Every structure is written in structure tokens, then in C-alpha cells.
Amino acid sequence: MAHPYQVYDELRREAPVSYFEPTNQWLISRHADVNALLRDRRLGRSYLHVATHEEFGRPPEPEFQEPFWRVIRAGMLDVEPPVHTRLRRLVSRAFTPRMVESLRPRVRAIAGSLVDAFVEKGGGDLLAEVAEPLPVTVIAEMLGIPHADRHLLRPWSAEICGMYELNPSLEAQHTAVRAASEFADYLKTLAAQRRRAPGDDLISALAQIDELTEDELVGTCVLLLNAGHEATVNVTGNGWWALFRNPSELARLREDRSLLPTAVEEVMRWDTPLQMFERWVLEDIEVHGVEIPRGSEVALLFGSANRDPAVFEDPDRLDVGRADNPHISFGAGIHFCLGAPLARIELMESYGALLDRAAKLELREEPSWKPGYVIRGLRSLEVTAAG
Ligand code: HEM
């Protein structure tokens, strides 16, 4: 897990499509294949719109998981058209590049005050004190989560994400179910209040839409709140660690701030926070002569695709000025990240604030990776900071 990139090299070279028995998945490691399969409508994030678990040769889900799936499958990420199209349309207006650009001054102000406080105390855990609070505050403000409740979001999200790791333990599954239930109850109460007394926030706007069932409203808010910060936190942590390990690139960025947009894309490519996404095969497909039958599951290795030498020159090099960078970190096809424009603004503002306001930023100790493979992030990032 700490060093997946060497294994990816071997896979891409020798076995671009390979069956992996421990997880019963087909691993897809080349950029062109990952990109093509994300767009291929013969695959889906779910199969439940066309088949039952039994027809797909999968065991029925344990009953205790029902409250979890009820929440998750009501969000756009876990459904396919036509439901996906309807749900995505209802919220996409709030996330257009123009709409999120109007949030930039607020994002900049939050990033500035977080970094100032961090520098004033001489540094600390960059992850907990800057990387996390920025996207959590931004998405919580957009949805209208009261300030006093925001500390609940991060634990709920992390516990829910536990279910997405490969073969989660029974304990992790129960924790995820409990978190999803608590989160859903919390949002139902909040949405009922906003329906009665609407505010100028996304939950109020969604609560007015008759087309949206209560489950869909809850599923949409959980998705936005979780997806709205999980990966951004880790792009900040992984990216700064990447810069500390490549001091000449950090110096280059400090000297030439016009490189910030390419630098943000590059840290997202170099150590992508979401290493893998899965798809179900809804109709037989063939990849490089290998038949993958209906009912199979493919694992699209984003971390590998982003280091593919067929697409990226000198892919293992961190190059903050990389101009041609079609990384796959935001996905592709109909589920392409809805929050990409917002994530880019948050990342530019947080990297920018740290570069501007912390002239000295140094690693205090070697960080370690959190357990888990799918979500790639550090436990903490201890640094010394000075203005
Ligand atoms: C750097 C940060 C981020 C990364 C790397 C990222 C990555 C991704 C990826 C890879 C997907 C597609 C998953 C798949 O195809 O299976 C996705 C979907 C999504 N993301 Fe993000 N994301 C980030 C930030 C955000 C933010 C800030 C939001 C804010 C709301 C957000 C909201 C969503 C939503 C709603 C979807 C589902 C879209 C759909 O199913 O149509 N993401 N994201």
C-alpha cells in the first residue's frame, strides 16, 4: 500500500487485464482502458437496475446493511440512468464552474484564516488543521449545516467510507451502517426544519423539490457532504508530502506562482487520493482479447492509469509545470466528478495560501499512510510553519 507504483508498472507492462482472485475482480491498469471502460455503457456502478444479486451470482446483502444501502443507493453515484440523469440534473446547477467561481472569495478567506492560525502557532498537523477544515467548512456552508454540528461530518464520512475498502471487516461494516443511519436521521430532521423555514442554502433548495423523495434528498446530501471533502483532504496531504520529497519542485513553485494550476493537477495525478473505482459488467466485454463476462466486476486502477508512460512523459517524475496532464483522478463518463470545479478552487486557494503565508514550511517527521487501499491518505502531516 505504501508503494503500489512498482506493482502497477508490472501490471501495465505484462498483464493489463488480469484476474485477481482474492477480490474476484478483473484489474485494469492502463490509462486508455480505464478511460474507455469508465465511458462504456456496457458497464455500470450498479447492476440492480437490470438484474438481481442472484442473477449476478452474488450473495444477498446481509439484512443489517439495509440502512446503509438505503442511503447510499439513493445518491447519484450509485445509480445509473435514467435515475442518475434526473438526480444529477437537480444538483448540477449548484456546481457549474460559474456558480462555484462565485464561492472563491469565501474559500480564499477561510483558507487564509486557517493558514494564519497555523503559522502563528508554528505549525502542527497540516492535515487536521488546514487540509480538513477547509473543504468541510465550504461544503457544510453550501448545504447549510449549522456550525455547531460540523464536527459530526468528518467521523460519519470516514466511517461510511470504511465500507468501500476491499473486504471490509464485520466491525467496519457495522460502524458504516450505524454512521449512515445517524447521518440520515440528522439530515431528515434538518430538511424538515428547512422545508418549514427555508434558508439560502442547498438543503433548503433541495427540500422544496417535490420530485425528490426523502431518501433521495438524504442520499444526495450524504454524497455531497462526503465526496465534498474526502478526496480534497487527501490531495492536500499527499500533495504536500510529494512536494517535501521533491524540494526542487517546491522551490520552483515558490519562485513561479503562475505554476499553481498545473501543480495542483500534477499532485492529483502523482499520488491520486482515490486509487481504484469498480464497475459491474452488464454485458459481456472483451479487453485486449480477454473475455470478461456479464456479472463480473472490474477494478479500474486510477493510480496506475495516472502513471502510464503511454500517456505521461516520465510519469514517475513530479513536474509542477506538466502542461499535458490528462489524469483520470476525477473519473470520466457520466459519473465524472460533479465537484471537480469546486475541488480545483479549494486546492488552488489552500496551496496558494500556504505558499503565500508560510515562507517556511518543513516536514517534522516522516508521515505514514492510513490503512486501506482505495482511499489513499496520510494519518497526519506534522510540519513546522513560519511566515
Ligand atoms: C480532489 C478532489 C476530488 C476528487 C479526486 C474526486 C474524485 C471523484 C471521482 C473519481 C468520481 C467518480 C467516481 C466513479 O466514476 O465511480 C467522483 C464523483 C463525484 N464527486 Fe468528486 N472528487 C473530488 C472532490 C469533490 C467535491 C469537492 C465534490 C463536491 C460536491 C464532489 C462531488 C462528487 C459527486 C457528487 C460525484 C458523483 C457524480 C455522479 O455520480 O454523477 N467531489 N469524484
Q: Residue 86 Cα, ligand 1 centroid: separation in angstroms?
A: 17
For the entire predicted model, the pTM comes to: 0.95
Report d(CA 91, CA 85) in Å as an integer: 11
Report residue 20: phi and psi, to 5°. -115, 105
Report d(CA 111, CA 130) in Å as an integer: 7
Report d(CA 363, CA 357) in Å as an integer: 16
Find out whether 225 and 285 touch, Cβ atoms under 8 Å. Answer: no
Q: Residue 277 Cα, ligand 1 centroid: separation in angstroms?
A: 11
335 lines ligand 1 (CB under 6 A): yes
Residue 178's pLDDT is: 97
Picking from 284, 140, 161, the residue whose alpha carbon sits closest to that of residue 224 is 140
Report residue 8: phi and psi, to 5°. -60, -40
For the chain, 387 residues long, the average pLDDT of each consecutive 10-residue run is 92 97 96 98 95 92 94 95 95 90 96 98 97 95 94 92 86 95 96 94 92 93 92 97 98 97 98 96 97 97 98 98 97 97 97 96 95 92 96
Residue 251's pLDDT is: 97
Rg (CA), the chain: 21
Paired with 279 in beta bridges are 298
DSSP result, 166-216: SS--HHHHHHHHHHHHHHHHHHHHHHHHHHHS--SSHHHHHHT-TTS-HHH
Chain centre to alpha carbon of residue 265: 14
Picking from 14, 23, 45, the residue whose alpha carbon sits closest to that of residue 288 is 14
Find out whether 8 and 271 touch, Cβ atoms under 8 Å. Answer: no
DSSP result, 304-330: HHTT-TTTSSSTTS--TT-------TT
76 lines ligand 1 (CB under 6 A): yes
* Number of the ligand 1 atom closest to the C-alpha atom of 274: 5
Residue 277's pLDDT is: 96
Picking from 50, 100, 42, 99, the residue whose alpha carbon sits closest to that of residue 333 is 42
Task: Please give the grid coordinates belonging to residue 96.
Answer: 457549474
Pairing verdict, β 297-301 and 25-28:
parallel
Distance separating the N- and C-terminal Cα atoms of the chain: 35
> Could you state, in order of their start, the residue ranges of all structural domains in the chain?
5-386
Q: Residue 99 Cα, ligand 1 centroid: separation in angstroms?
A: 17
Residue 1's pLDDT is: 77
Mutate to test the pocket of ligand 1, among 297, 336, 337 (most ligand atoms within 8 A of CB): 337
Q: Residue 233 Cα, ligand 1 centroid: separation in angstroms?
A: 13
88 lines ligand 1 (CB under 6 A): yes
* Number of the ligand 1 atom closest to the C-alpha atom of 138: 27
Atom 6, ligand 1: which residue's CA is nearest?
Answer: 330
Instruction: Give the list of residues 6+ apart from residue 301 with CB closer than 8 angstroms, or none.
Output: 8, 11, 27, 28, 29, 34, 275, 276
Find out whether 306 and 328 touch, Cβ atoms under 8 Å. Answer: yes
Which one-letter amino acid corresponds to residue 380?
S
As a CATH number, domain 5-386 is: 1.10.630.10
Residue 82: asked if its preceding bond is cis (omega within 30°), the reply is: yes
Paired with 300 in beta bridges are 28, 277
